[in-house]
Structure 1
Amino acid sequence: MDRRFAVIDLETTGHSPSKGDKIIEVGLVIIENDEITDEFSTLLHPGKDISPFITKLTGISNDDVKKAPRFQDKADEIAALLQNSYIIAHNVPFDLGFINEEFAFAGLKKLQNPVLDTVELSRILCPKAPGFKLGQLAEFMNLDHHDPHRALSDAFVTAKLFLTLKQKLYTLPYETVTQLLQLSKQLKSDLEELLYDCQQAFGMSIEPEAGMDSFRGMAFRAIEIPKKKHFDIATAFGNYLDDIFEEDGSMQKLMTRYEKRDGQREMSETIYDAFQSNNHALIEAETGTGKSLAYLIPAVYEAVRTNKRIVISTYTIQLQAQLMEEEIPLIRKLLPFSFDVALLKGKQHYISLEKFERSLANMQSDNYDITLTKSMILVWLTETDTGDIDEIQLPSSGYYFYRGISSDSEGFADPNSPWFSRSYYQKARKKAQQADILITNHALLSTDMFNEYQFLPSYNKAIIDEAHHLEETASKHYGLKLDYVSIQYMLSHIGATDEDGWLNTTLVKYRFTAEYFPFETWNDIFQKAKHEADDMFRMIFQYVIEQKQRDRSLSDIGRIQYRFQTDEAYSSKWNVILEMVSRFIFYVRDLIHMLSQLDYHASEMDVFDRHEKINLQESIESLQSIIDRMEELFLMEDEQDPQVKWIEIEAKGAKNAVYLYSEPTDMSEILADEFFSQKKSLILTSATLTMKNSFTFVQNRLGLMPEDTVAVKIESPFSYENQVQLMIPNDFPDVRQGNQDDFIYSTCEAILSLADITQGRMLVLFTSYDMLRKSYWLLKDMMNAEDYMVIAQGISSGSRSRLKKNFQSFDQSILLGTSSFWEGVDIPGEDLSCLMIVRLPFQPPNHPIYEAKSQRFKNNGKNAFFELALPNAVIRFKQGFGRLIRSAGDRGIVFVCDARIVKSRYGRFFTQSIPSVPVTYDSTEKLMDKAEKWF
């Protein structure tokens, strides 16, 4: 049916009409018969000053609106254009809120038109989009966007976006449209009539189109897994390297800006040799080596030659995506033979169609985020080949819903189930079993390692990229964790017999009586268990607060961390906690007993279907897992397997926001026994494995025997001597003498001075969130708002990649980061000209894991600082240093505010562990002069 749509965009003085913000520009576009038929645009005088930030964002200044009309002068004309139309905007509540506020002020009725929000529509119909801002969507859909943040231009782009989305809607399968129609009443957009029109367009033909499958009212993309082919390789490995890397080789022909890198070939040959001799290898490949390509070539060659898969494990999802989307396609062009590649993640990443189908039948308790999540998933299922939830960005609380519909919640796989052949996880496993190269992550690699190798298909050779994270990841997976939310989530999932959990649903469905299930006893003990858990975690929370008050030095990383021992007797309160733990375990055992009795009666009567059996078995296992973890954390101490146990609390969070952890104090023997002795050849590579060119530290941490391990350092092809200046000021206050505020002030002065020289383009790395926050607000006070865009992790909204993109999109910007920004952030070229490292990245000495490991070193007569703290800090420093130079054409300054790098006896470990660069240690004023001249 033909409908009229009015697409509106506003530029305003701020975000809140209720606080006096006003419209400064209106852009309107009319759509009829799927064509843009009219437009309207006007500047408006807001009756107040436009801030420099808004002027910078929109280009609209106070002079531009000096002679412009007021809104009330144009109100009737705008109202007439909006009449009898759907109102469309990119974030409708924002634009409609401003328009209605102005209409009320002008004496007009507030708009009651049906609305369509293109943010919401984009999330539903383009769930794979990298982001949902107008500019991001325009780029994703190849829509021209000539003048961002000007009302008419934005309105035109929003109109084109809507027409593209409407077109996409009509390509969806009948089942998907029908399911969306059922969900649409809880969405912000008035979508019912559009979806009904779309549904009617199918007429009598509702057969699934080619490439689509449908089952039980859901449509999803059909996936075929090709059978594995085997190729014989006769050519020697060196010949392939000659064909690829030498002058006029295939690499040069494929890549227009290819630069020959000797280190790349050296790395490939080292890996090939290690595979042939069945040795392990440690390879530090500095920035610019091109290590992904260097290890993929010998891995593919070896896998195809021997017909035995090789595993490649990464730490980050980003690197997995890079391998699959960039490196593997390039390798396919470089090598003259075919090979199969698969990506396998943990079960929690893959959606369960069975669980999702059940959730669609139950919408009574859905909030908006869950409705939006379901709508997004319905469309995504028509596009995805993997069922991997990482492909889309769910709304925040959508991830809690997703936990209940992931393959991890399916329980034991039943090959006889009609869902088994449609399971994304089972398809991923099958593909992995047929692959020559299997790409996974350190988390699943570790889970597999500590569960008798039952999660990954068998392998004997592997490449571990980002290997400096292997010990930490393995330690987490060998250890255990437990928190209040997880316990309550599990209990709520089961529920009392008068609640919405699966137990009540099942008992009602099969009409169980008190003869077969003790309803009153269950409810009594169930409520006692929930209350005991709540009281117990509140008591633990309070206990940690009291310890923090006694010991101000307790580690604080946004959460307060407190290390404990099971036999500690610091106060009677701890004994009360232990009593509560015992009581809670007692209640949970009773719950398990009653569920086991239910299982017995159900089996005798043969009444439960597969879904109920899985729920029952899973619930028993989950409750037993809670008991096991509580006992290990609080009631047991194994002297043969020393563990560090600690509590983390969110001091400003809920009074039961408590997290419990346990990890080994030493992973070396565990990894040696469980991993390195079990595999023929493991290649560990990273840009940061050495300290002062020595691999000793990482070998000791991982339990690698030097006689079985090849250790090679591949130098960077970059000319660091000419590309980087390392500068250290000699006049900063000493933060260790209690001058933190003075130190922060000096840091902020240096940031602004360097920013003037580099026109922003600065990344500032902190080791403390507290120092970052104080610096951010001080910078805001010290500078004019229009000088620089300051973006701060934890303060500015958005993920790490979103903050990075925002930083790159502004001409003069300063990015403040901590923790995750020390590595894995690539900002090549002129976008980044200065890297500031505020403090050397030592772990807090009171961090529970560091504390326990330090004690172990001391007990063995070793120096914990030189054996543990310093190597960790040096490797972290190298990661931070590596953010600056990402290509042969980059130039920049590394400014280290911490004079310990020069003054301390251990400072040379930092400077001698990075590439050789010119170092200047001088007054801040002289450093600024030198920086200006150098640039």
Structure 2
Amino acid sequence: MSLLGQRVAETLSDHGVLAQVVPGFQPRQGQTDMAMAVSQTVQEGGQLVVEAGTGVGKTYAYLVPVLLSGQRALVSTATKALQDQLFSRDIPRLVEVLGLPIRVALLKGRSNYLCLHRMEQARHSPEAAEPGAQRALAKIETWSQATRTGDMAELTGLDERSSLWPLVTSTRDNCLGSSCPRFKACHVMLARKEAMAADVVVINHHLFFADMAVRESGVAELLPTVRVTVFDEAHQLNEIGVNFLGKQLSTVQLLELSRDVLATGLQLARGLVDWQLLSGQLEKASRDLRLAAGMHRGSVRLRWTQSLPEGVDASEWTGAMQTLSQSLQLLEAGLEMVTELAPDFQRLSDRTRELLQAVALFSSLPDPEGVRWAEVTAQLRLVESPLDIADAFSALTQPIALPTASAPTNEEADAASEQDQVHAWPLEPSAETHQEPVVQRAWVFTSATLGDDHTLRWFTQPCGLSSATVLQVSSPFDYARQAALYVPEHLPKPGDPGHAVQVAHLAAESARLLGGRTLVLTTTLNAMRTIGEQLQSQLDASANVEVLVQGQSPKRRLMERFREGASGGRAGCVLVASASFWEGFDVPGDALQLVIIDKLPFPPPGDPLFEARSQRVTREGRSAFSDHALPEAAVALKQGAGRLIRSEADRGVLVVCDKRLTSMSYGRRLIRGLPEMRRLNSNEEFQAALLQLTTDATNSTTF
């Protein structure tokens, strides 16, 4: 065993420093097994993929070896919540306990930081005239004088969905870079400097891919060159990467440009150009393009295999695209007249040209090697992307030469920032920089759910990790004792029009008995709305159960209220949710004891990305159902089921309201992917299990 391995094993043992100092820490064999594998990868390089079941303690399993190794590292997460947890709690605790002289930095995407220049311009925008806007802007301005980081997460009372948020933050589109009059005080640049000087930098997958997407153009996000990269919540990598590595054009981009042109023009060049006309033309063209996509309920992805998205009127769509192109050309000409007046106009001109190029791309035929679609909501987003990140990621994880130089000084980082041309992972070493021999960097990918077979092919194949070492570490929870699975045979088939109503009835009866404590996960927004409405009508005030429905309040507020449960004299809760609540929603304790899944989460058959991937699988001579649709459903089902048991003391029941799980042959494969729960074979057994939960919520024996 290596010296690093010995130190890691000692740290995680029952007589190690963590057991002595950290409250609640308990050595787990699975955690040690994972940590030893991470230690070997950190030392030798290569790729390690670890599926670590709930409760393994995977965060410490990768942080302990990474920190003890002394190597510079990036730790990337899928969510801001975990990113903040790592930076604010987990890493500082370990650094203190282990007594390590390690500098840690947090780096988020640009739009998470206050932009001082845009804040100063915000009072002149039309949105500033809305009720309450001036008061909110005053609060932001007061906070701006006290904050050190400029991280908008520090500012309470302003949700990122607020119309003011984009007015006081910047994006890659509208950032002025080194031409900005407030560049020296820029919070993004200061965060980048800290990241360049840090030993460990905590980022998120979006930022990682944003950097990767622009590396070729020489405009990077200034992520430091590191020896070790860890991806937590790695199961989201492929989908996030596909979005960032593709091409996009959205009405949000167009309307933001229209708004910024009007505000900047009237403030800095009033009377020189008819800004209201140019802005108004672009806004109208953007809205007309959205209307040309048709009226749809909820979010819809339209196939786009030929020159037009399917289902749109050809003349309306073509006319809308031509009008949009003309309005951008007119705007470009207007901006050319004033570009010398202020750097703001030069950046607006660059944005206009970039959008013109996007319009030209989406006016031509799709790339046959990728997939194109139109995503229609209240806005419109046109996307052309690769089918996965395999090619890009396999190239990225190849060995490279790492510079021997230490972390740059503030002055060096300053100079790099002003050029904004520092690559995160240099493709070619500089002739002026002494280089070590080519080395194999360490890449660690981990999540609780990475596939439904021992090879974890669901994850490794689309990520181009065919040579990775794969490890599966089981959860330490005793699922046979703590949890039960029930598939109600009396419910109608999932395709039956009355299915959602019957699911709601089962949820209402169960919630009455439990006093809330119920999470209902749906596979579609329509089912979520139907079940939510039914529950709100069936569970009145006399039931002493509060029904929460996704979309009716901010996600954070819903989660906080649900976790409170029946504490403090308040009613217990039923939460009906879809999409993002299937993962990353943790409710340990008695506030959640019943998870109901409305039906098996197969991908929607009309989704263009799913269809394109299925067609590729078929061309390769494999089964689109067995090799693509079924693994997708298995992973999603496993993620949803994972909401139930979050600690050794938790107990509960998982209900899957889809009899295909027991009647179809593929159901056995889906069940094998779930933890080994006790089976409830009848409604009577189900009711008895619920009754046991209500009579003694703290009983740790089998129920």
The TM-score with structure 2 as length reference comes to: 0.85
Greater Cα offset, 571-580 or 432-441: 571-580
How far apart are 1:430 and its partner, in Å? 0.6
Q: Deviations over 1:244-303 (max 9, x none)?
A: 22223211221343322111121111111112221101000111111111111111223x
User: Equivalent residue for 1:462?
Assistant: 229
Distance 1:569 1:466 in 2: 33
- Point out where structure 2 has 5 or more consecutive residues left out of the alignment: 401-439, 693-701
| Aligned CA distance change for structure 1 residues 395 and 245 (closer, same or farther; 3 Å) | closer
Asked if the contact 1:274–1:710 (Cα under 8 Å) also holds between the matched residues in 2, the reply is no
| Aligned CA distance change for structure 1 residues 533 and 834 (closer, same or farther; 3 Å) | closer
Asked if the contact 1:721–1:916 (Cα under 8 Å) also holds between the matched residues in 2, the reply is yes
How far apart are 1:505 and its partner, in Å? 3.4
| Aligned CA distance change for structure 1 residues 333 and 593 (closer, same or farther; 3 Å) | same
Asked if the contact 1:312–1:465 (Cα under 8 Å) also holds between the matched residues in 2, the reply is yes
Asked if the contact 2:518–2:593 (Cα under 8 Å) also holds between the matched residues in 1, the reply is yes
Say if 2:506 is the partner of 1:750: yes
Q: Deviations over 1:476-499 (max 9, x none)?
A: 11123333343133123223xxxx
| Aligned CA distance change for structure 1 residues 398 and 822 (closer, same or farther; 3 Å) | closer
How far apart are 1:644 and its partner, in Å? 2.3
Asked if the contact 1:834–1:884 (Cα under 8 Å) also holds between the matched residues in 2, the reply is yes
Distance 1:349 1:572 in 2: 36
Q: Deviations over 1:553-592 (max 9, x none)?
A: xxx6x22332223425979931442243234313422432
Say if 2:606 is the partner of 1:850: no
Which entry has the higher C-alpha Rg, 1 or 2? 1
User: Equivalent residue for 1:815?
Assistant: 575
User: Equivalent residue for 1:671?
Assistant: 393
Distance 1:492 1:716 in 2: 51
| Aligned CA distance change for structure 1 residues 523 and 575 (closer, same or farther; 3 Å) | same
Asked if the contact 1:665–1:856 (Cα under 8 Å) also holds between the matched residues in 2, the reply is no
Greater Cα offset, 568-577 or 748-757: 568-577
Q: Deviations over 1:420-479 (max 9, x none)?
A: 332211110010001111100000100111211821122242000000000000011112
Superposed counterparts of 1:192-341, under 5 Å:
236-302=3-69, 304=70, 306=71, 309-341=72-104
| Matched residue SS, 1:450 | helix
User: Equivalent residue for 2:480?
Assistant: 721
User: Equivalent residue for 1:912?
Assistant: 672
Say if 2:347 is the partner of 1:618: yes
Superposed counterparts of 1:118-517, under 5 Å:
236-302=3-69, 304=70, 306=71, 309-359=72-122, 365-395=128-158, 399-408=162-171, 411-414=175-178, 419-452=182-215, 454-455=220-221, 456-495=223-262, 501-508=263-270
**Identity over aligned pairs, percent:** 25
Greater Cα offset, 872-881 or 396-405: 396-405
| Aligned CA distance change for structure 1 residues 892 and 457 (closer, same or farther; 3 Å) | same
Distance 1:580 1:370 in 2: 34
User: Equivalent residue for 2:290?
Assistant: 537
Q: Deviations over 1:590-623 (max 9, x none)?
A: 4323423443xx4xxxxx3xxx1x2111111111
Distance 1:321 1:698 in 2: 25
Asked if the contact 2:174–2:351 (Cα under 8 Å) also holds between the matched residues in 1, the reply is no
Distance 2:316 2:458 in 1: 42
User: Equivalent residue for 1:588?
Assistant: 328
- Point out where structure 1 has 5 or more consecutive residues left out of the alignment: 1-234, 496-500, 513-518, 549-555, 603-607, 651-656
| Aligned CA distance change for structure 1 residues 732 and 886 (closer, same or farther; 3 Å) | same
User: Equivalent residue for 1:41?
Assistant: none
Greater Cα offset, 353-362 or 766-775: 353-362
Q: Alignment RMSD, CA only?
A: 2.8
Match of 2:631 among 871, 880, 883: 871
Say if 2:342 is the partner of 1:635: no
Task: Read off the aligned partner of 2:302 and give its amino acid letter.
Answer: Y
How far apart are 1:370 and its partner, in Å? 2.2
Asked if the contact 1:750–1:924 (Cα under 8 Å) also holds between the matched residues in 2, the reply is no
Say if 2:526 is the partner of 1:767: no
Distance 2:623 2:671 in 1: 21
Say if 2:687 is the partner of 1:687: no
Q: Deviations over 1:814-849 (max 9, x none)?
A: 222211111111111111122222211112111222
| Matched residue SS, 2:375 | strand
Task: Read off the aligned partner of 1:773 and give its amino acid letter.
Answer: R
Distance 1:364 1:314 in 2: 33
How far apart are 1:311 and its partner, in Å? 0.4
| Matched residue SS, 1:792 | strand
Greater Cα offset, 377-386 or 835-844: 377-386
| Aligned CA distance change for structure 1 residues 252 and 777 (closer, same or farther; 3 Å) | same
| Aligned CA distance change for structure 1 residues 692 and 265 (closer, same or farther; 3 Å) | same
The TM-score with structure 1 as length reference comes to: 0.65
Superposed counterparts of 1:508-587, under 5 Å:
508=270, 519=273, 528-541=281-294, 545=295, 558-568=298-308, 573-587=313-327
Asked if the contact 2:176–2:344 (Cα under 8 Å) also holds between the matched residues in 1, the reply is no
Asked if the contact 2:50–2:471 (Cα under 8 Å) also holds between the matched residues in 1, the reply is yes
Superposed counterparts of 1:775-924, under 5 Å:
775-794=531-550, 796-806=552-562, 808-810=564-566, 811-920=571-680, 922-924=681-683
| Matched residue SS, 2:149 | coil
Distance 2:39 2:594 in 1: 38
Greater Cα offset, 880-889 or 326-335: 326-335
Task: Read off the aligned partner of 1:705 and give its amino acid letter.
Answer: S
| Matched residue SS, 1:831 | coil
How far apart are 1:649 and its partner, in Å? 3.4
Superposed counterparts of 1:15-164, under 5 Å:
none
Distance 2:277 2:511 in 1: 64
| Matched residue SS, 2:543 | coil
| Aligned CA distance change for structure 1 residues 794 and 886 (closer, same or farther; 3 Å) | closer
Distance 1:579 1:715 in 2: 57
Say if 2:404 is the partner of 1:645: no
| Matched residue SS, 1:786 | helix
Task: Read off the aligned partner of 1:847 and give its amino acid letter.
Answer: D
How far apart are 1:696 and its partner, in Å? 1.7
| Aligned CA distance change for structure 1 residues 781 and 352 (closer, same or farther; 3 Å) | closer
How far apart are 1:710 and its partner, in Å? 0.9
How far apart are 1:746 and its partner, in Å? 3.1
Distance 2:532 2:127 in 1: 44
Distance 1:392 1:375 in 2: 12
How far apart are 1:801 and its partner, in Å? 4.4
Asked if the contact 1:280–1:710 (Cα under 8 Å) also holds between the matched residues in 2, the reply is yes
Distance 2:561 2:540 in 1: 23
Higher relative contact order (CA 8 A, sep 6+): 2
Distance 1:422 1:526 in 2: 31
Distance 1:422 1:507 in 2: 25
Q: Deviations over 1:47-105 (max 9, x none)?
A: xxxxxxxxxxxxxxxxxxxxxxxxxxxxxxxxxxxxxxxxxxxxxxxxxxxxxxxxxxx
| Aligned CA distance change for structure 1 residues 909 and 384 (closer, same or farther; 3 Å) | farther
How far apart are 1:749 and its partner, in Å? 3.4
Asked if the contact 1:762–1:832 (Cα under 8 Å) also holds between the matched residues in 2, the reply is yes
Q: Deviations over 1:734-758 (max 9, x none)?
A: 133xx231x2343233223433443
